[in-house]
Each structure stands twice: as structure tokens, then as C-alpha cells.
Amino acid sequence: MKHKPQDTIAVRIARVLADRIITGAIPPGAPLRQDHVAVEFGASHVPVREAFRQLEAQGLAVSEPRRGMRVTSFDVEELREVAAMRAALEVLALRHAAPRITPAVLEAAAEANRAAEAASEVRAWEEANRRFHRLLLAPCAMPRLMSSIDSLHLASARFLFAAWRSQWEKPTDQEHRAILAALRRGQTDLACSVLAKHVGRIRGRSPQNKFDKTESYAIIG
């Protein structure tokens, strides 16, 4: 078996660790230890350090003096910032993407939306929802912008899993369909207006019982 390049191993490690952080399997504040990660993946410290740098660039981990690498914490003010940034950047991407969106792209996005509507648990919904947004925005052909949006979606997903992991309530809004309908009619301004409202709104989940005192929030869009 041929050995994979170091950067490919680093990407794989970063992807697995990011998934664990986003879903809460590795909780906020938990340490990320190079030795343990290297042993788990059968890798040297070089790709592990590169994977940690990728996680840090995505806002999922932070390097602290004398404490090493740790998973970042988050609060509702960060979520509000993520929502505002998503609204601004996704609208920018959609305005540039709209002239390049083909009927095939619209149908693929509609299929992703149907998958989200049919999802029975939060992970399936999040994956389909992210696919819907990326299909419509990727034709902007602006890789730096899309990289920023992808990082914001990762941040959104962390809040989503933290808020709804144990008691998923499927969204009932029709905004995805409204965005698709506006794009089919060539109404870019309307599509952008609906998108901004859609991703700029946060939703709270009340405590489930008397022992749970914390209200959780997420972007449902």
C-alpha cells in the first residue's frame, strides 16, 4: 500500500477531529494532545501539527501558552456574530453566483432541500442543509469567500449539535423553497433578501426539564 502524502494525512486527521468537535464528542475546553492523536492515526507529529493548525484556522481549536491545544468554547454572542457574518457573506456569494446557476444546480439544491425536509435526526438535516447552501453559493467561483463561508458553517453546526443533539425539532419554515423559486424567476434581489433573513436569525431551545437551566441557541438555516 502506498503511503499518503503528509498533507493528505493532515487533512484526514483535521476532518475527523473537526467532526468530533462539531458533534460534541470532544467537548469545549478539552485538550488535543499530539501524542494521542499521532498514535490513533498512526502518523508522525508533523501532519498532526498541521491538522491542529487547520482546526485553529477554522476556529475549532486554540493554542494556549503552557496549556497546548484546546477545543474552543462558544457562547451566544459568538453565535450572533456567526449569523451576521453568514448573512453578509452568503448574500455576497449568491449575488455573484446567480448568473451562473444552471437548472441542474437548482434541481440538485431542490433535492438537497427535500433530503433536509425528510431528515429524522439533526445530523442528516445539517448535512443536507449545508449541501443546499453550498450548491447555490459555489457558482460564485470565489474560493476565498467560499472558504470563509465553509468555516462559518462549521461554527453554525457546533451550536446546532449542542442545542438539538438530544431533542431534535425539525424546522418548519419554507425559506429554502422561496429562495429557489426566486432564483428560478431570475429575482436575485428577492432571493438574497430571503437568504439574509434565513441565515441571520437564531432560534432558542428551552430547557428540557427542571434540572436543565440553560437555554440553547442555534442558527436553523
Cα–Cα distance, 113 to 119 (Å, whole number)? 10
> What's the pTM value of the predicted model, to 2 decimals?
0.80
pLDDT of residue 137: 98
pLDDT, tens only, 161-219: 887 765 666 666 689 999 999 999 999 999 999 999 999 987 755 444 443 444 556 77
pLDDT of residue 196: 96
How far apart, in Å, are the Cα atoms of 179 and each of 120, 126, 129, 152, 194? 23, 18, 13, 20, 6
pLDDT, tens only, 82-92: 999 999 999 99
Cα–Cα distance, 196 to 8 (Å, whole number)? 35
Pairing of strands 61-64, 68-71: antiparallel
pLDDT of residue 141: 97
pLDDT of residue 215: 53
Least confidently predicted of 100-114, 118-132, 201-215: 201-215
- CATH number for region 6-71: 1.10.10.10
pLDDT above 70 (res 119):
yes
Q: What is the mean pLDDT of residues 56-84?
A: 89
pLDDT of residue 66: 82
pLDDT above 50 (res 54):
yes
Domain over 76-219 is classified CATH 2.60.40.10: no
Nearest one of 112, 113, 111, 95 to 183, comparing CA atoms: 95
How far apart, in Å, are the Cα atoms of 171 and each of 120, 198, 203? 11, 11, 10
pLDDT of residue 1: 40
Give domain limits for the chain: 6-71, 76-219
Element (H, E) at 218: strand 216-219
Proportion of the chain above pLDDT 90, given as a percent: 65
